[in-house]
Every structure is written in C-alpha cells, then in structure tokens.
Amino acid sequence: MYAFNYVRAGSVSEAVQAVPGGNFLAGGMTLLPSLKLRLARPDQLVDLAGIPGLAGIEEVGGRIVIGAMTRHIDVASSALVRAKIPALADLAGGIGDPLVRNRGTIGGSIANNDPSADYPAAVVGFDATIITDRREIPAAAFFTGLFSTALQPGELVLRVSFPIVHRAAYVKFPSPASRYAMVGVMVVQAGKDVRVVVTGAGPCVFRLPAFEQALAANFSAAALEGLTVPADGLNQDLHGTAEYRAHLVPVMAGRAVAQAQGR
C-alpha cells in the first residue's frame, strides 16, 4: 500500500469535509484489496465506521430503508427484509462468503460499482432510490459504467430505499474462488412491470428489455425460451469467455423466474 492519512469521521459533514483527495472507507472489502495491489493512491482514508446512524434497517412509508453502513450479514439476517423483500435478503446472504458479509456494506458495494458485484442488480431490479448527503438518485441513473456511478467527488451515500416487492429472485453463477458473480440475474415482478437485470456479465449492470417484455406477457421460464444475449461487449477473463457468459444469462434468468414464481 502507498502511505495515506487515516481520519475517523464522527459525522457526515466531517467525513465530507475530510475526503477531498481521498476515499471514504466503509467495510473495506474492495478498497483494501485495491490499496494492497496499489491500484489506488488516496491521500487519506476517511473511515465512516464511527458515524452514528449510518447503519440500520427500517420500514418507512411502505418502503424498506437500509443505511449505507449496514453490513451484508445484517441485511441477510433481518426479519424485516426477509418478510418484505425476501429476494433482497437472499442476495445479501450470497455475497462473497460469511467473513466478507461480516464486514462489507451496501453503501460501499454500490458506490464502488464493481462489474461483478451483486447489489447493483438489486438496486436496479427493485428500482431503489439512493439517498446521499445532497440529493436522491434513482437507480436507473446511478450506475454509469465500469466502477463508475453518478456520485460526484466527495458525495456520500447515506441510505438506499427499496419498495416492498415479494415476487423477485436473484440467481448467480459464482466464481468458485472469489464468489463474485460471473453472471447474476435479478428478476423482479412489481405490478405490471417486470425487470430483468444482469450483473457480472458486462462492464456495468444492465437490463434486458426483450426478456422483460416476454415475462410481462407470461411470467414463466417457458416465456424465455429462444431468447439469447449477444456476446459482444461482455466480460472476458480467465474465469470464462464472453460467449460463456452470454450463454449463462438466459440460464440464470430462467432459474430466477422459476424461483420468483414460488413467491
């Protein structure tokens, strides 16, 4: 790691003031490996762990609001999330491994926007709202590209607000070593709307309109038969080719629909 100064912020305003030239530090599950590989060189790390009120899960006005510093384990084991948005609890319970889930946070995951991260699929799939220290950002405008988001420099995610949706499921094909999604598909049916969202396959999370239309007409795995995804532009690495990932997308989507039907 390159040298950095460490700041433990006591409040949101203190954190935002301290961060220019540096990075916010949430659970550190992606930031610390990046620092160890010298992929990042922040002047300072601003630790958010000491800020009161950034972690926690509440039901507010018919939505489930999750604080940015809420750890994956706490979303996965929350009776409230399990009852109101079971697919979100399942997704959180499948991130990384139990040790990563004990440290990693929802705010850190979405702010980092790793192309293989699980949470972006849920945020887009449920059409969540991201609440920062200065504004509210709809999910559709939040994830802008590889490791990129709509967040301005120094803007801090405070909460993520999800609508209550039962009929949804997330199924992924994890890398056997890292447990990151090689391909993960979130299927959400909310009223007449169906969203099919893919993570892990491309540089950034994306929707599949053709799959969504087919499922809006007939919400069953059979409705996806014959639908394919082009391999152009998909990720290619030592874990799998772009063609392999393209093949996995409809397979994971079909499994997700079958799971969601049971809800």
Partner 1 sequence: MSVSVALEVNGRAVSLELDPRTLLVELLRRELRLTGTHVGCDTSQCGACVVHVDGRAVKSCTMLAVQAAGAKVTTIEGLAQGDQLHPVQAAFRNCHGLQCGYCTPGMIMTTVDLLRRNPNPTEHEIREGLEGNICRCTGYQNIVRAVAEAAVALREAPAASASA
* Residue closer to partner 1, measured from CB, 143 or 180: 180
Structure tokens at 32: 């610390």
Please state, in angstroms and rounded to a whole number, the distance separating the CA atoms of residues 87 and 166. 7
* Residue closer to partner 1, measured from CB, 102 or 261: 102
CB of 103 to partner 1, least distance (A): 5
Q: Binding residue for partner 1 (CB under 8 A) from 22, 42, 86, 96?
A: 96
The dihedral sign for the CA sequence 238, 242, 247, 252 = positive
How many CA atoms lie less than 13 Å away from 20 in the CB half-sphere?
2
For 110, other C-beta atoms within 10 Å of its C-beta total 25
With contacts defined by CB under 8 A, how many residues of the chain interact with partner 1? 27
CB of 28 to partner 1, least distance (A): 6
42 binds partner 1 (CB under 8 A): no
Q: Which stretch binds partner 1 (CB under 8 A): 3-11, 121-129, 181-189, 243-251?
A: 3-11
* Residue closer to partner 1, measured from CB, 29 or 205: 29
Q: Residues near 228 by Cβ (< 8 Å), separated by ≥ 6?
A: 246, 250
Closest CA to 75 of 102, 113, 48: 102
* Residue closer to partner 1, measured from CB, 104 or 125: 104
The dihedral sign for the CA sequence 89, 94, 95, 97 = positive
33 binds partner 1 (CB under 8 A): yes
Report in angstroms the alpha-carbon separations of 156 from 52, 55, 72, 116: 14, 14, 19, 22
Q: Residues near 77 by Cβ (< 8 Å), separated by ≥ 6?
A: 89, 93
Please state, in angstroms and rounded to a whole number, the distance separating the CA atoms of residues 94 and 174. 9
210 binds partner 1 (CB under 8 A): no
* Residue closer to partner 1, measured from CB, 22 or 202: 22
Pick out residues in 165-184 that bind partner 1 (CB under 8 A).
Answer: 177-179
CB of 155 to partner 1, least distance (A): 23
* Residue closer to partner 1, measured from CB, 5 or 17: 5
Structure tokens at 54: 């950034």
Pick out residues in 101-130 that bind partner 1 (CB under 8 A).
Answer: 102-103
Give me the amino acid identity at 228.
Answer: T
Pick out residues in 5-24 that bind partner 1 (CB under 8 A).
Answer: 5-6, 8
CB of 196 to partner 1, least distance (A): 27
Q: Binding residue for partner 1 (CB under 8 A) from 80, 100, 242, 258?
A: 100
| Site of interaction with partner 1 (CB under 8 A) | 1, 3-6, 8, 25, 28-29, 32-33, 36, 45, 47, 49, 73, 77, 96-100, 102-103, 177-179
